[in-house]
Structure 1
Amino acid sequence: MGHPRRPVSVPERDPQRHSDPGRGAHGRGPGRVLPLPRTVQDRSRGRNLETGRVGWSGFTVMSPIPDETPFARLAELTTKLEATSKRLEKRALLAAFLKSLRRDEVPPAVHLIVGRIFAESDSRALNVGWATLKKALAGTKQATLVPRPLTILEATRMFAQIAEARGPDSTRARRRLLESLLGRASEEERDVLLRNVFGEMRIGVNEGVMLEGIADTAGVDAESVRTAHMFLGDLGMVAEIALFEGAVGLRSRGLRLLAPMKPMLAEMAEDLDEVLAEHGGQTAVEFKLDGARIQIHRKGDVVRIFSRRLSDVTDSLPEIVAIAKSLPASEFLLEGEVVAINADGKPLPFQDLMRRFRRVHGIAAAQEEIPLKLYLFDLLHVDGQTLIDAPYRARWESLERLVPSEYLTARRIVTHKQEIEPFLQAALVAGHEGLMAKALDSTYSVGKRGKKWFKIKPADLLDMAIVAAEWGSGRREGWLSNYWLAVRDESTGGFQMIGKTFKGLTDAEFETMTERLRGLATSEERWGFHVRPEVVVEVAYNEIQRSPHYPSGFALRFARIVRIRDDKGPDDVDTYARLKDLYKKQFERKGRGPADL
C-alpha cells in the first residue's frame, strides 16, 4: 500500500540517533538538517538550522533609502523578547522599538515579529517547500565585502517577490530570491528570517501581546486596538493606524462591506447548567453544523464570500452567490455555514466540503457532485445599518425578516437543561456536531472568545496541530501516517506535544497528507519530518492522562483523528491551559490516582 517514501537526501550526522519522545521540545532532540558551514541555533526549540555564510548570490538589490531601519535591529529585539517571560517587559520592548520606526516600516515589522510575514487577511503565501529551502541554503555564498546592511523593508520586498513568483520557472526563481535574501543576512538575522519562513517565531509574542504593545506605543485604549484588528484582519495596518492616526483613526475603521472581518468565537461548554447560569437562566440554542463557517457580503450587485480564515471563496460557491443576490436588500453582511449534503439531504463528511472550497476549476461539475446547503445564523449589517452592537435577539429578528426560513439554522429558546438535551440529540441524529448556545442580549464581539456563546458537543474533542510525522509501517509503508499532536502554549507561543496517532484517516487522506506535510517540513529525521504546525486536526479521545513521556506532562488515551480542519489555522488550536482544565474536570466524575493527589 502507499508509495515509495522519498525522503530528502541529507548526510547522516549521528548514526546513533533515534526517535525518543522524551527528548527536547515536543519530545525530541535537534533535527537532522543541512551540512553547511554555519549553524543557526533555534533558541527556543533546540533545533539547528545550518546555513551558508553571509554573502551575495548574484541578485542586484536596489539601494535602500538611507534612513531605512536595519533588519539587525529587529533581530536584536527578538532576542530580547525571547529572553524575558514577563508580559509587561515584552510590551515595553515592543513599544520602544515600534516608536523608532518609519510609518512604512511598522506593518512589515509587526508581521515579522509575530512570525506571519503577510497579514491574516492577505491571501499571499511563500510556497516554499523543504527542498527549495534546502537548495537555497546550500546556494548561499560568502562575500568578502558587505556594502550595506539588510533592512526591514528590503526583507519584506523580497518575501513579496518570492510569494509573487509564477510560471514554469517559479520554483527556481523562489530559490534564487531566497539565496539572495539569506546571503544578505547575518547569522542572527538569518535566524529570524528562517523562523518566519517556518511560521514559528516562538519568542512569546502572540497576537494578544502584540496588540497590547501597539496600544502602549500609541497611548490608546487596548480595547480600541483589538476592535480595529477584528474589523481589519491586519495586525500591521492596525499598528500603523494606531501609531500615526491615534484613537480617532482606530475608531474610523469599522465594518467594511466586501472586506473580511474576524468572526465571533465561542467557549466550549463543560456543563449545561453553567450555560444557563451564564446566560441568566435563558438561552437560545442552535444546531452546531458540521460545515464551514462563512460570511456573505453584498453591496449592490457585488457579492463576496469569505471563509473563517478570511480567504475569499466566492468563486467556489456560485450557488451561495445566487442566493445572496436573490435576497430583498441591496447591501448586507450575513453569517452562516455551508454543509455538503447527499441526495437525501444528509450532511456529507467535512473533507467532501473542503474539496468544494478548494475547487477553482470545474465548478459546475462540482455543484452536481457535492451540492451545498446554506444555514444562516446572524445578520451584522443591512441596508446602511450596522448591527454589531445590537443584541442577538434583535439581530435574529432582522435575519428572519430578510431571509426565507429554509435558510435559517434550527433554533429554539430554552430555560431548562431538560429542554436542551432532546434538541442536542435531534442535532446529532440529523448528522450535525452538537449545539451552540447564545445569550439573547449578547452583542457581536468580533474575533473574541467569550461566554456569550458556548459550543455544546457530546464527545471529548480537541483541535490540535500536527508538529511532526513518522513514516508508517506494514500497510501504511511509504506514507507519513503517524502524527505528533500538540496543543498551543499561550505562555511561550509554541506548542506542547500530548500524543501521537495513526488512526482516523483513509488511505487517500494518508497519501494527500504525506505530500502536504513534506511541503511543510522544517527538518528531517530517519523516521520522518518535523513540520510547521499549519495542519489542524480535530481529535477525539477517551481520557487525558498524566505522562512522563512528553514535556507537557500529559497524553491522550485512544486518540483518533475525526477530521482535518482546513478551515482552521495554528491560532485556532486548543490551548495547553484548556487541556489542563479538562484534565482537572475529569475528577468531577472519577477518583484521583496517587499521582494526582
Structure 2
Amino acid sequence: DRVRIFSRRLTDVTDSIPEMVDYAKTKVKASEFLIEGEVIALGEGGKPVPFQDLMRRFRRVHGVEDMVEKIPLRLYLFDVLQCDGKTLIDLPYTERWEILASLAPTESLAPRIMTRDPKVVNDFMQAALKEGHEGLMAKSLTSDYAPGARGKKWFKIKPSDRLDVVIVAADWGSGRRVGWLSNYHLAVRDDTTGEYLVVGKTFKGLTDAEFDMITKRLQELKIRESKWTVHVKPEIVVEVAHNEIQKSPRYKSGFALRFARIAKFRDDKTPEEADTIQRLRKLYEKQFENKGRLLKEVP
C-alpha cells in the first residue's frame, strides 16, 4: 500500500498530489509497479493551464487539500518500467504499452496513434495544440526504455514561437564553455520608456565558433563588468525560439521565456526594431486561446 511519486528530476512530490496516490492504490491492477506518466493542471473548460501553475501544486506542502480543489489535475500514463517483480525496460515499446493498457483504465492512457502518414501526424498535432497541449512525443515501436535519456528513438514534436530580442548582458561560461560569454540576458524594449526589460537567459543554440565570435563582439560593447557578468550596450539583436511565455517575478518585465534558444543573429535589425514588452503581453494573452486559466485565484 506504499506509494511514492517523483517528478522528472526525481523530487518526491507524493504529499503534494494526494489524489494521484489514491489513483495508484485503487485503479492500477498490480500489487507492485513502476509507471511513468504526466499530470497536467486543468483550468477553464478543462483545458491545461501553463506549466508554472502546475508547479504550484508540486511545491505546496501546506493547504494541500485546498489546492486539490483549486488546481485539479488530469493524469496521462504512457509507459511501464516494472510490474509485479518483473523489469520491463528491455521490452519493445509495443509490448510495454500492452502491459500498461492491461493495468490502467483506458481514460488514463495518453492518446496515441500509429501511422506512417505525415498528414495524420499533422492532424493529430493540431488537435493536441487546440486542446492546449504543447505538442507530441514520437516513439519507435521497437524502442526499449533508456532511463534518463530519450536517445534517437524518442523525440518531441513541438511548435516554437519566435521573438527578436536584444542581448543586454552575458555571463561567463563554465565547463566546456569556460572563457566564453555564453549565457545571454535577453531583453525586449518598452515602447513607452525605451527601457530594455529582461525576459530570460539562454546559452542554447550556438556553435563553438559563434560563442567565440559573440564573446568578442560583446566585449567591444561592454559598459561594466562584475565577477561573472558583463553588461553591454543594447545593440545585438537575436531571434529566439521559445515554447511558452510565463509570468515571472524574477524579472522587472514580469515575464520569462520558457526553453529559450537562439535561432539566429539578426544583424539586419536595429535594437529599436526588436520586439516590445507591449507585444509580449499580447502574445502572453493569446496563449490562453488554447490553454485554460485557473478556475480560482491561487496565492
TM-score (ref. length: structure 2): 0.63
Residue 331 (structure 1) shift: 1.3
Match of 1:438 in 2: 139
Give matches, 1:375-386, under 5 Å.
375-386=76-87
Distance 1:323 1:456, change over 3 A: same
Is 1:544 matched up with 2:244?
Answer: no
Contact 2:199 2:251 in 1 (8 A): no
1:509-568 Cα deviation digits (max 9, x unpaired):
34344599xxxxxxxxxxxxxxxxxx9823489x6346499xxxxxxx8696989xxxxx
Residue 410 (structure 1) shift: 0.4
Aligned Cα root-mean-square deviation (Å) = 4.2
Match of 1:511 in 2: 249
Give matches, 1:200-349, under 5 Å.
301-326=1-26, 327-349=28-50
**Which of 1 and 2 has greater Rg?**
1
Aligned length in residues:
232
More strand by share: 2
Amino acid at match of 2:264: I
Q: Secondary structure of 2:114's partner?
A: strand
Q: Secondary structure of 1:344's partner?
A: helix
Residue 474 (structure 1) shift: 7.8
In 2: Cα distance, 1:427 partner to 1:421 partner: 10
In 1: Cα distance, 2:143 partner to 2:116 partner: 16
Match of 2:152 in 1: 451
Is 1:487 matched up with 2:204?
Answer: yes
In 2: Cα distance, 1:403 partner to 1:382 partner: 12
Q: Secondary structure of 1:339's partner?
A: strand
Contact 2:204 2:260 in 1 (8 A): no
Residue 417 (structure 1) shift: 1.5
In 2: Cα distance, 1:360 partner to 1:500 partner: 39
1:96-139 Cα deviation digits (max 9, x unpaired):
xxxxxxxxxxxxxxxxxxxxxxxxxxxxxxxxxxxxxxxxxxxx
Residue 445 (structure 1) shift: 1.6
1:25-62 Cα deviation digits (max 9, x unpaired):
xxxxxxxxxxxxxxxxxxxxxxxxxxxxxxxxxxxxxx
Q: Secondary structure of 2:133's partner?
A: coil
Is 1:362 matched up with 2:63?
Answer: yes
Amino acid at match of 2:118: K
Match of 2:223 in 1: none
Contact 1:304 1:314 in 2 (8 A): yes
- Of 393, 399, 414, the residue aligned with 2:94 is 393
Amino acid at match of 2:17: L
Distance 1:361 1:500, change over 3 A: farther
Q: Secondary structure of 1:306's partner?
A: coil
Contact 1:461 1:538 in 2 (8 A): no
Identity of aligned residues (%): 45
Distance 1:393 1:505, change over 3 A: closer
Distance 1:515 1:375, change over 3 A: same
Match of 1:155 in 2: none
More helix by share: 1
In 2: Cα distance, 1:383 partner to 1:466 partner: 46
Match of 1:80 in 2: none
Point out which structure has higher relative CO (alpha carbons under 8 A, 6+ apart): 2
Distance 1:453 1:460, change over 3 A: farther
Contact 2:204 2:261 in 1 (8 A): no
Residue 384 (structure 1) shift: 0.2
Residue 468 (structure 1) shift: 3.6
Distance 1:323 1:469, change over 3 A: same
In 2: Cα distance, 1:433 partner to 1:418 partner: 19
Contact 2:188 2:275 in 1 (8 A): no
Distance 1:472 1:511, change over 3 A: farther
Distance 1:374 1:481, change over 3 A: same
Using the TM superposition, name which of 423-432 and 332-341 deviates more: 423-432
Residue 456 (structure 1) shift: 1.6
- Of 409, 412, 417, the residue aligned with 2:113 is 412
Amino acid at match of 1:511: P
Match of 1:424 in 2: 125
Contact 2:239 2:265 in 1 (8 A): no
Distance 1:425 1:500, change over 3 A: closer
Give matches, 1:35-74, under 5 Å.
none
Give matches, 1:125-204, under 5 Å.
none
Q: Secondary structure of 2:5's partner?
A: strand
Residue 439 (structure 1) shift: 0.8
Residue 377 (structure 1) shift: 0.3
Match of 2:228 in 1: none
Match of 2:222 in 1: none
Segments of 5+ residues of structure 1 without an aligned counterpart are 1-300, 517-534, 550-556, 564-597
Segments of 5+ residues of structure 2 without an aligned counterpart are 164-181, 216-236, 285-299
TM-score (ref. length: structure 1): 0.34
In 2: Cα distance, 1:479 partner to 1:321 partner: 46
In 1: Cα distance, 2:196 partner to 2:265 partner: 29
Distance 1:461 1:337, change over 3 A: farther
Residue 418 (structure 1) shift: 2.4
Residue 505 (structure 1) shift: 5.4
1:341-369 Cα deviation digits (max 9, x unpaired):
12532111222112212212111111111
Contact 1:391 1:442 in 2 (8 A): yes
In 2: Cα distance, 1:402 partner to 1:486 partner: 42
Match of 1:352 in 2: 53
Residue 413 (structure 1) shift: 0.9
Residue 477 (structure 1) shift: 10
Contact 2:93 2:141 in 1 (8 A): yes
